[in-house]
Copies of this chain bind each other. A is one copy, B any other.
Amino acid sequence: MDSKRTTDRRTFLYTSGMAAGALALSLPVTSACRNTQKKDKLGIALVGLGYYSTDLLAPALQETQHAYLAGIVTGSPDKARKWQEQYQIPEKNVYSYETFDQIKDNPDIDVVYIVLPNSMHKEYTIRGAKAGKHVFCEKPMAVTAADCREMIDACKNNGVKLAIGYRMQHEPHTQQLMRFAEENTFGPIRMITAGAGWRWDNPGDHWKNKKSYGGGAMMDMGVYSLQAARYAMGEEPVAVAAQQYTRRPDVFSEVDEFTSFQLQFPGGALANLHTSLGVGMNYLQVNADNGWYRVDPFSAYNGISGESSNGPIAFEAGNQQARQMDDDCLAIINGQDLMVPGEEGLRDIRIVEAIRQSVAEGGRWIDLQG
């Protein structure tokens, strides 16, 4: 891909007023905000065309009602060409990381979806916000809580929305767990266990064990266990303790291969959680005064399945990523609150920082109420 030529072409199309192309505007522009035109569908540009974009998000965007794949941002001309062919993406909607900021001039793109290594979330979220685009950012939100705050501020200051791509809050079994907590279905919850992991052996997915890229088990999968405890409990934890270790020190010399961590909740529940890049596991168990429930797997891309002391927890799951993007786009279209805004991602990373502190300080309980 000749990015110079692409840029020129995009600029041309935009300035010649043809950019709305594939979009059917359902209503005249009613909002003062340049990205909240009342559309049926928002155009999403995927930023980073790795496995998750390729195998999950792009296919999901063929099923969405309120989102469509409008553009791509990639450093690979080969990938760009392939995607353009497969998804009929016009040249003007193809960006490199160098030309990314010019996306501000492209009205086809309402949302940039950041699907880059964790350490790059902050930069591209802020650049996307400055380009006036709503931002969907993959989990974990960023490497530090300070980074998360900068991202939230950037979106706020530029009048755009920020959603974190956790998926599960959009998934019906998970939504049922959240209702159980809210409605006290099984009485007070006392104990939550969750394990989330996979066996990372893949040299192609090269950054998972790199500290500088925000890798490690806690960052990659641990946030699912953490999220699970928080949404299953419906409360924010008040203290955390954590343990980390590495079974393959040659591979995991910079980051954790295994993390276990415990959360105390204000209502008196305890969560005992773990995560790993050494073994596949995916389960969530909740024990309450009047019963129990269990979802296994609980955060996989499909096959979510649950049972409880009251019987099965069974829903038509649908495509998780399609649900997520539809929910988020519809909320933006209707000017409603996002289900998983940046503040929710920040809550996790604050706890991840306390986990790092607990590990550094020999496993002691860290107060989260400060």
**Interface on A for B, CB 8 Å cutoff?**
190-191, 193, 195, 197, 199, 241, 243, 245, 247-248, 258, 260, 262, 264, 268-270, 272-274, 276, 278-281, 283, 285, 287-289, 292, 358, 361-365
Contact = CB atoms under 8 A, between A and B. Distances in A.
A191 B268 contact: no
A193 B195 contact: yes
Given A270-B260, A364-B362, A289 B279 contact: yes
A249 B262 CA distance: 19
Residue among A195, A243, A260 with the highest chain B CB neighbour number at 10 A:
A243
A276 B271 CA distance: 12
A243 B365 CA distance: 8
A294 B258 CA distance: 20
Contacts of A278: 190-191, 268
A235 to B, nearest CB: 13
A278 B190 CA distance: 7
25 contacts: A190-B247, A191-B197, A191-B276, A191-B278, A193-B193, A193-B274, A195-B272, A195-B287, A197-B287, A199-B289, A241-B363, A243-B365, A245-B270, A247-B268, A260-B270, A260-B272, A272-B274, A279-B287, A281-B287, A281-B292, A362-B362, A362-B365, A363-B363, A363-B364, A364-B364
Nearest to A291: B280
B245 A243 contact: no
Contacts of A281: 191, 285, 287, 292
B270 A272 contact: no
A285 B288 contact: no
Contacts of A358: 363
B285 A279 contact: no
A281 B241 CA distance: 22
Given A268-B247, A274-B270, A362-B363, A279 B190 contact: yes
A285 B195 contact: yes
Contacts of A193: 193, 195, 274
B365 A191 contact: no
A363 B358 CA distance: 9
Nearest to A246: B268
A247 to B, nearest CB: 4
Given A274-B272, A362-B363, A279 B191 contact: yes
B288 A279 contact: yes
Contacts of A191: 195, 197, 258, 274, 276, 278-279, 281
Nearest to A194: B193
B283 A285 contact: yes
A360 to B, nearest CB: 12
